[in-house]
Structure formats: structure tokens, C-alpha cells
Amino acid sequence: MAPRILRRLFAVAPPGARRRLAGALLDFKSLPARLADPRRRAEPWAFVHNVGDGDFVAVGAQLARHLTDHAGLSPGDRVLDIGCGNGRVAEQLAPLLADGGGSYIGFDLSPAGVRACRRRFAGRPHMAFEHLDVWNGEYNETGKLAETEVVFPAADASVDLAFATSVFTHMRMSGMRRYLAETARVLRPGGRLAFTAFALAPERQASEVFGFQPFDATSMIIDPRSPERAIGHWRPAIEAAVAEAGLALTSSLNGLWAPPSAYDGGQDLFVAVKG
């Protein structure tokens, strides 16, 4: 009976409430591990800002490894985290950048996530966090700033490496174009961008977990009530948006969300460079 009731709650709840409920369930599932491992007791709680399933440290370490292996992350880099969430990647980058003289700035549309990051990294001046009140149908329904009007909190040509993990999977193509343009503005010549997406192709447009259905000319969605819950973009549209921003794709790898996959990340990984 309980699973049926939960499914009904998920079906009728607005996105914000649904994500908080899902986060509470994740927190409940994580309790045994948190109690058994003292290192996990200080991890952020998902009901405050739900960025998805998985071990905070393990997932953060995996994402940082992807940046090193595929985007050339260096200890001296000036890094921009587009959608820093609750700081799981920042946790991994903080000591690396401190040792190498690098710096980090992350921003997010969740004030709770940014507050948590500021508390967690207090006293580390090379780590900075900003809140942008950007509208998003899944994560910030009351946001006052349209995605197409966002200005990143970084100066022109001031960033060596920017990354957006599971950001464009919750944004419509118009917002993604704006974010790519802003990334190009803040990257120095030769700077890199790494981002993940669901890159759709005729032979790869759905899976057992993601049942994408038509939405518009560039994208497909899994939930008509909340398109931003998960959005896949057609690969040619992604490639065109990257080129339009003045960036050049250097590589792309299929993720595990749909076969065939080429690396151990869940979403498809793209790397681009500013000329």
C-alpha cells in the first residue's frame, strides 16, 4: 500500500514538493551508511536541495575524475561550476586547487544549496559561491530571472575550465544557448567547457529508465507536466548551439543512460574549447 500511495503523491505533487519528498526518501535510505561511516555524517541532506541519488563523496569524486580525464583539469585552473548544487564537486576540487594556486566559483539557483556551500567552505578564500535567482520549472518555479537573461558571476576571459553537470538535462534549448554564450564570454582563449546532456539520436532516444517523448523541434521530455524534470536535446541541436556560442567541440562520450556507452558517467559528456 505504501509504495502505491507514494506513487500517487509523486504523480500529483508540484515539482518542488516532489523533489523534496524524493530527497527525504534518499536521506532515509542513506541513514544506515551515514551511521556506519562517520565521514558521511556531515553530508548535505537531500530534502534541503535534491541533486539526485548517490554517495556525496563517491559521486563528487567520479565527476572530478571526469574533469581530469576528459577536460584537462589542472590544480592551477580558475574553475567555474555552473550549477554547483550542494557542493559535491567543490568538495573534491577544494584541496586540489588550494595546493596548485587555482580558484573556484560556483553558482546555483538554490539559495539553500548556496548557503550550505558557504558554510561548508567557510575560511577557504579560493572557494566562492553565488546565488542566482533563475527560474526553472523543476528546481525554482518562483525564480525572478529568466534563463535567457542570466549573466554568470565571472569577468570576461577569466576562467580556465567551466563545467555544467546535469544542468542542460533540466533546461530548454533557449536557456542552454544563453548559458553556452555566457560560458564563451567568461572563458579565456583556450579555456575548456565540459557539460553533460542527454544527446538524442534516431537510434538512441529512449531507454528503460528514460522514456522520452516529443516536446519541440530540438528536444524531448519525460514529463509533460514538468518539462524541466528531464530534457533530452537532439545531438545536432547541441552541436549547433555550441558552435553558435563560438566554442569548438573536441570530444563527446555516450553515457550509461542509453546504450551504447563509452564511459562510466550516467549522462553524455561533451568537451568544447574556446578558440
Tens-place pLDDT, residues 111-161: 999 999 999 999 999 999 999 999 999 999 999 999 999 999 999 999 999
pLDDT attached to residue 39: 66
What is the DSSP annotation of 32-82? HHHHH-GGGTTSPPTTTS---SS-HHHHHHHHHHHHHHHH---TT-EEEEE
Tens-place pLDDT, residues 209-255: 999 999 999 999 999 989 999 999 999 999 999 999 999 999 999 99
Length of the chain: 275
Structural domain 56-274, CATH architecture? 3-Layer(aba) Sandwich (3.40)
Domain boundaries, the chain: 2-40, 56-274
pLDDT attached to residue 46: 59
Task: Give the three-class secondary structure for 235.
Answer: helix
